[in-house]
């Protein structure tokens, strides 16, 4: 029997409710891939006037990476979706990266019907158990009526406290069942992050201020938490007040302009150099700000040396404090509020600017860099690629680096001129194949600026299918492939740690420019160092997608800023 007209008007299907809840939270873009169990959701997206854009991707992993890049640049929740079974397992790597990097990404996987569970149904798996350890919050819906409150809970979880990823499994019959229309409401401020800021205890602020007053050589080490909290003005004001050098992690690039007198650059085993390390080693007080003080940042907890410096640790997650270093003062709170509170507590302290140590370290670091960046030798030195990018890109450009060969060079030597998200890499788990997809999301978040993705050829092999997505969307991205036919990071490790016993790290050379051209991307294969500048200029000026396949010196033969190889 058909429902009365009045009742039909007051209800939506579960799929329609999911679409309406996304729109109510201010979602603008959804990245995803279709599947049988997603048919009701896709039909709702097709029929309803929701104002959101759906970007069809070529696999679910890259849908998640696109949502990650979008969230990092936009300051809004990134949303991706996919079907059940393999769709859930494919989307998981992107969720794991986003969650560990404190990036709010919501993944929605459709699922088999609740009524079909436990009957050997095709694509059945336990999505709740699968996602639980790798997300901040996750749910598998059993009833259509629970769709609105579940979405509200997901957005609140993602954007409050330590921000992170969430997952919702949406069974087929739940998508078709009824939802009361009156339940469709949301707080749109939860679609951005951080949505609810928490300040530090005043008592601890005073203790930290006392330590800072007494310190002779304080140094800030800033992680991604400063950029996530948009705390750059507060950081710079406090650093200038104390005449304190500011070093960053890779994720913290953008906390301070890297042409600022107090900017040390990246420290740690990936992208740090002996010159930047010397600033950390000279400190008598280290302030970790929005930084977990992990193994890469501290070169396996050796710089700073435990017990030799005082430590103030600022983080929104209390579970971070005291894990890696004995903390003299813990400041639990949002980086923006915590740094502002410290600055206010030190309002009677104004030290004359003395950045001479930073200037000397920076000069020595870039003198070594220029000697390699100006080399006319082939294969092309990776330093030369970084130098040309720095020379030709505007200050507001977005650069996305894959974690292999590009990451240490760009992290160390590509200067971020300004604050905020202008450079990023997937540093939590370092999976290859990230940069191309993340650059798609970054561009859609900030389309007015140039976006460049830099990857190794190992990474390119894992993401080449998304070239079709880029061409279909007509995105003016520039993609750079550092080409040397080797998994370079591992080969360099085999050289330094295993007496050059190279095993299963070399693969065949590919003309990636021709691969790109087959998809409709304008490509160049570059082998001549002297021709690199002109080709890069053409690629950046082109009004469509471009790819440069640059044959470069492999890592095991190079002088990459990676401390374990230098040693």
Q: What is the mean pLDDT of the chain?
A: 96
| Domain membership flag for residue 363 | no
CB atoms within 10 A of CB 84: 25
Q: Is the pLDDT reported for residue 389 higher than 50?
A: yes
Same domain, residue pair 387 and 328: no
State the residue range of the domain holding 471. Answer: 374-566
Residue 565 banded pLDDT, cuts 50, 70, 90: confident
| Domain membership flag for residue 362 | no
Same domain, residue pair 212 and 182: no
End-to-end CA distance of the chain: 78
Which among 191, 210, 226 is the end of a domain?
A: 191
For the chain, how many structural domains are there in total?
3
Same domain, residue pair 338 and 383: no
Same domain, residue pair 390 and 431: yes
Rounded (to 5) percent helix, strand, coil in the chain? 45, 20, 40
From 160, 311, 138, 342, select the one nearest 240 (Cα to Cα). 342
CATH number at residue 62: 3.40.50.970
From 352, 367, 295, 354, select the one nearest 325 (Cα to Cα). 295
Q: Is the pLDDT reported for residue 3 higher than 60?
A: no
| Domain membership flag for residue 364 | no
Question: Which helix (H) or strand (E) covers residue 344, if one does?
Answer: helix 335-345
pLDDT attached to residue 6: 47
* C-beta separation of 485 from 507 below 8 A: yes
Which among 143, 158, 191 is the end of a domain?
A: 191
Q: Is the pLDDT reported for residue 186 higher than 70?
A: yes
CATH number at residue 229: 3.40.50.1220
pLDDT attached to residue 551: 98
User: Which residue spans within 439-513 are E strands per DSSP?
Assistant: 451-456, 478-483
Which among 130, 163, 191 is the end of a domain?
A: 191
**What is the pTM for the complete model shown?**
0.96
| Domain membership flag for residue 369 | no
Residue 564 banded pLDDT, cuts 50, 70, 90: confident
* C-beta separation of 58 from 219 below 8 A: no
Same domain, residue pair 390 and 314: no
Same domain, residue pair 288 and 386: no
pLDDT attached to residue 9: 56
| 330 DSSP β-pair partners | 313
Same domain, residue pair 137 and 224: no
Same domain, residue pair 229 and 334: yes
Give dist(CA 523, CA 520) in Å, integer.
Answer: 9
Same domain, residue pair 472 and 560: yes
Residue 500: φ, ψ to 5°: 60, 30
Distance set, CA 436 to CA 5, 314, 381, 499 (Å): 49, 33, 22, 34
Same domain, residue pair 139 and 209: no
Mean pLDDT over residues 369-387, rounded?
96
Same domain, residue pair 254 and 288: yes
pLDDT tens track for 57-92: 999 999 999 999 999 999 999 999 999 999 999 999
């Amino acid at each position: 029997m058909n429902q009365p007209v009045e009742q039909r008007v007051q209800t939506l299907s579960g799929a329609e409710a999911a679409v309406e809840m996304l729109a109510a939270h201010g979602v603008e873009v959804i990245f995803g891939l279709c599947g049988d169990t997603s048919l009701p959701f896709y039909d709702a997206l097709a029929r309803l006037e929701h104002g959101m854009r759906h970007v069809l991707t070529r696999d679910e992993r890259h849908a998640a990476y696109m949502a990650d890049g979008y969230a990092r640049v936009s300051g809004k929740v990134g949303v991706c979706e996919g079907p059940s079974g393999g769709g859930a397992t494919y989307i998981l790597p992107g969720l794991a990266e986003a969650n560990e990097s404190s990036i709010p990404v919501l993944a929605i996987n459709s699922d088999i019907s609740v009524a079909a569970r436990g009957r050997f149904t095709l694509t059945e798996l336990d999505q709740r158990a699968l996602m639980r350890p790798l997300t901040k919050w996750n749910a598998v819906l059993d009833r259509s009526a629970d769709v609105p409150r579940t979405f509200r809970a997901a957005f609140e979880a993602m954007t409050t406290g330590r921000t992170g990823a969430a997952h919702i499994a949406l069974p087929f019959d739940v998508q078709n069942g009824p939802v009361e229309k009156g339940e469709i409401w949301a707080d749109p401020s939860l679609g951005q992050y951080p949505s609810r800021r928490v300040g530090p205890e005043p008592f601890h602020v005073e203790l930290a201020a006392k330590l800072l007053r007494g310190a002779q050589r304080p140094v800030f080490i800033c992680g991604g938490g400063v950029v996530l909290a948009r705390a750059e003005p507060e950081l710079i004001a406090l650093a200038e007040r104390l005449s304190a050098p500011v070093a960053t992690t890779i994720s913290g690039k953008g906390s301070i302009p890297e042409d600022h007198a107090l900017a040390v650059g990246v420290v740690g085993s990936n992208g740090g150099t002996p010159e930047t390390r010397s600033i950390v080693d000279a400190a008598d007080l280290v302030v970790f700000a929005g930084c977990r003080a992990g193994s890469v940042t501290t070169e396996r907890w050796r710089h700073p040396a435990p017990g030799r410096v005082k430590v103030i640790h600022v983080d929104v997650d209390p579970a971070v404090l005291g894990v890696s270093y004995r903390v003299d003062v813990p400041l639990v709170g949002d980086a923006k509020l915590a740094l502002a509170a410290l600055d206010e507590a030190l309002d009677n302290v104004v030290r004359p600017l003395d950045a001479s140590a930073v200037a000397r370290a920076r000069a020595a670091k870039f003198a070594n860099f220029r000697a390699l960046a100006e080399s006319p030798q082939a294969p092309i030195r990776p330093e030369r690629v970084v130098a040309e990018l720095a020379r030709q890109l505007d200050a507001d450009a977005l650069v996305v680096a894959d974690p292999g060969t590009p990451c240490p060079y760009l992290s160390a030597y590509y200067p971020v001129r300004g604050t905020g998200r202008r450079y990023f890499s997937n540093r939590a788990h370092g999976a290859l194949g990230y940069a191309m997809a993340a650059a798609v999301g970054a561009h859609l978040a900030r389309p007015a600026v140039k976006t460049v993705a830099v990857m190794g050829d190992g990474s390119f092999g894992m993401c080449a299918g998304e070239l079709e997505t880029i061409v279909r969307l007509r995105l003016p991205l520039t993609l750079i492939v550092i080409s040397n036919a080797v998994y370079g990071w591992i080969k360099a490790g085999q050289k330094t740690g295993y007496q050059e016993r190279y095993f299963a790290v070399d693969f065949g050379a590919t003309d990636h420019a021709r691969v790109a051209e087959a998809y409709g991307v304008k490509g160049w294969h570059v082998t001549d160092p002297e021709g690199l500048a002109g080709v890069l200029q053409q690629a950046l000026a082109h009004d469509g997608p471009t790819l440069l396949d640059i044959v470069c010196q492999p890592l095991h033969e190079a002088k990459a800023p990676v401390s374990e190889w230098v040693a």
